[in-house]
Structure 1
């Protein structure tokens, strides 16, 4: 165990940011602190707040603006200009400041009291958001500063801009990023982006989409002593669950993608929340299940939704009770489109070169079974790749922990990638990114 960060700049910055409880809707104090810090560090800053009515028109979000929480949830960004900024491209380094709730009783430490430690001879940092993704956000800030220092020191001759974004509401569908994608908050165009999600220092060029559906079943209540006169919803639910998992298996076999071959389940279905019954001595007559369904790159949310609706219809048609009491199966929350960036895009090639220069042997692009804000930028025509420290297995997890050397390595790679991209180095497959 150690009581202090291993360095005075990045470590202290991340530690201070982790002290803020930025659980969804509570981002404002941290964003105010971050904007002040960006100003102190020499960034030109920007701030925007999403418009709920504007987001409600986007197919990912609920149609009712009242269901989209945007109040007092600013997103902020810092911009560094290099050389003649209008003569070169603009690269966005994106991170989100919000975190998921922490179940404090499952933690060994206070989730908002960052704790430095050691594991297998490596310095570690534990806190809610250490992996997802405040350490990576700090790496983005200091990567941009490193690049500026290299340019001012004459080590590199660059034109263009580096933008560091700290967006709100990513865990609720990308509120801040969606606003930035729909309505550019900057007085210049963005040429590419790197979203610093926890990718285990791999280049992720494809992300899975998700359909969020709420299933409701209705049975008939009865006293437990005469349960045979009732109609329990549980056997009907189990039949539907088994059929959905069978469809998941069928899709795994029939729908392949070169970046997803290693996953044991490529397009997973998760029954994340199930609530049934009203009393232990009463036959359960109502059930609500909330289900997350994976969408492969190249598929649409609507196509996958239709496939599961068709499978549900088969179950209903085969069950007399369900035919007479049909279940509802409606969307809820936010729908995530799948997204994919061509591995030949200059931003991907720049990242791969920087990874190789930093000593990372495996630079081949991979796919992720989660969604990210990258999808919103890709949809807006901004080529985007994911790269960051930590593993998704630690995200949303008790005692969320990142290995600090990975954060430092991510900083190095992000700085190198930005330098390569702004320089417009000729790629053997992509050509120059220079304007």
Structure 2
């Protein structure tokens, strides 16, 4: 019997129920209680942990002030299945995050009411990444039901706060919540069912400019921040282009802008009849694998200082929010080979390892010495979008492939 024949109805029911939970930041706890109860009912031994804000404040991804890191009542959950002699084999983690970004506008219906139509599911979290999490759960159940002659342990994780820097995953990486070591991990982010071994980092900076106000009728008496910002914006674009030529990586050659700089938020001025004397811009800067957030920050700070020195405005350029360090593993890691072998067995093409211009929880595990590859259903272009949609067949294929990858890795 095929995976779809055996598990599709249960998997679909699990996804439908999970996606009805509003798991935006700080609201994960009810869904996590449901996930833990479901795992326990299926025979998993479960673990629960919450991150410590003071510990995370010492981590480069998070703000230095623990008060800015919300960890209270944001649990993460792990479920463990044992095979054969668990101490004689490897331990593999299948990881997914429970949290989703706010729905925003542009939805045709309730963002947390699953809509099934034409072989697809539309709901917040469909691609990013509740279906990936569900695929992990049922991959583990499928592997256990097949009674393979292997030794080891399989862990399914549902972590909180990924969209805010990876609160649950960082806590698990810094302070192992299990009474055993972890040898490798697969994070089921939406990768179109292909292996991603490199993820980009990001630097978040807030730019503040201050000029001098004046009445609009005599604007020549003021000092508008807008011309200065336009010069800064052009300088950032030029540096983005320079870095695209100078900072190279074979897995990122396919992207037209490998290390993007994005001014995502901009606010200037106080009143239409006054010269704009203040400006705040929030900027995301891409960081290549092999670079550090700190060194990229110094490069952009230097360029900005050169531009501002030629103006009459005051400037601050400071970090804010969450920083993502890049991460990368070797293409010949056993966990990567296990995913590729499973893809081949399932008749999937595109087994060559790829890269992503986004960040993921994988970086926390890689930093902790746990080789981690991304592999999951759905397209990253659907992430954070209105009417977020995933093809249901992709979820079935991903879950069956994850089961085969887990068996391959544990059997080695």
TM value normalised by structure 2: 0.97
Task: Name the residue aligned to 2:106.
Answer: 106
Query: Could you tell me how far 1:418 is from its partner in structure 2?
Result: 0.1
Could you tell me how far apart the structure 2 residues matched to 1:361 and 1:392 are? 18
Q: How does 1:89-100 map to 2 (within 5 A)?
A: 89-100=90-101
Could you tell me how far apart the structure 2 residues matched to 1:147 and 1:308 are? 49
Task: Name the residue aligned to 2:237.
Answer: 245
1:132 aligns with 2:150: no
Query: Could you tell me how far 1:176 is from its partner in structure 2?
Result: 0.3
- From 209, 223, 229, give the equivalent of 2:201: 209
Task: Name the residue aligned to 2:316.
Answer: 328
Moved more, 221-230 or 301-310: 221-230
Three-state SS of the structure 2 residue aligned to 1:158 is: coil
Task: Name the residue aligned to 1:3.
Answer: none
1:310 aligns with 2:306: no
Three-state SS of the structure 2 residue aligned to 1:125 is: strand
Q: How does 1:29-44 map to 2 (within 5 A)?
A: 29-44=30-45
Query: Could you tell me how far 1:99 is from its partner in structure 2?
Result: 0.3
Task: Name the residue aligned to 1:298.
Answer: 290
Task: Name the residue aligned to 1:275.
Answer: 267
Runs of 4+ in 1 over 6 A off after TM superposition: none
Three-state SS of the structure 2 residue aligned to 1:110 is: coil
Could you tell me how far apart the structure 2 residues matched to 1:114 and 1:96 are? 18
Task: Name the residue aligned to 1:74.
Answer: 75
1:218 aligns with 2:219: no
Query: Could you tell me how far 1:221 is from its partner in structure 2?
Result: 1.2
Three-state SS of the structure 2 residue aligned to 1:60 is: coil
**Residues 7, 421 of structure 1: alpha-carbon distance in 2 compared, 3 angstrom cutoff:** closer
Query: Could you tell me how far 1:407 is from its partner in structure 2?
Result: 0.5
Three-state SS of the structure 2 residue aligned to 1:12 is: helix
Q: How does 1:23-422 map to 2 (within 5 A)?
A: 23-103=24-104, 105-118=105-118, 123-151=119-147, 156-319=148-311, 321-322=312-313, 325=314, 327-422=315-410
Query: Could you tell me how far 1:318 is from its partner in structure 2?
Result: 2.2
Query: Could you tell me how far 1:85 is from its partner in structure 2?
Result: 0.6
Mapped contact 2:260–2:285 kept (Cα < 8 A)? yes
Mapped contact 2:228–2:308 kept (Cα < 8 A)? no
Three-state SS of the structure 2 residue aligned to 1:132 is: helix
Query: Could you tell me how far 1:224 is from its partner in structure 2?
Result: 1.5
Query: Could you tell me how far 1:204 is from its partner in structure 2?
Result: 0.2
Gaps of 5+ in 1: 1-5, 425-435
Which digits, 9 at most, give the CA deviation of each residue in 1:160-216, with x for residues without a partner?
001000000000000000000000000000000000001111100000000010100
Query: Could you tell me how far 1:317 is from its partner in structure 2?
Result: 2.1
Could you tell me how far apart the structure 2 residues matched to 1:77 and 1:52 are? 20
Gaps of 5+ in 2: 1-6
Three-state SS of the structure 2 residue aligned to 1:336 is: coil
Which digits, 9 at most, give the CA deviation of each residue in 1:37-79, with x for residues without a partner?
0011111000000000010111111111000000110000110
Which digits, 9 at most, give the CA deviation of each residue in 1:336-371, with x for residues without a partner?
100001111100000000011111121000010000
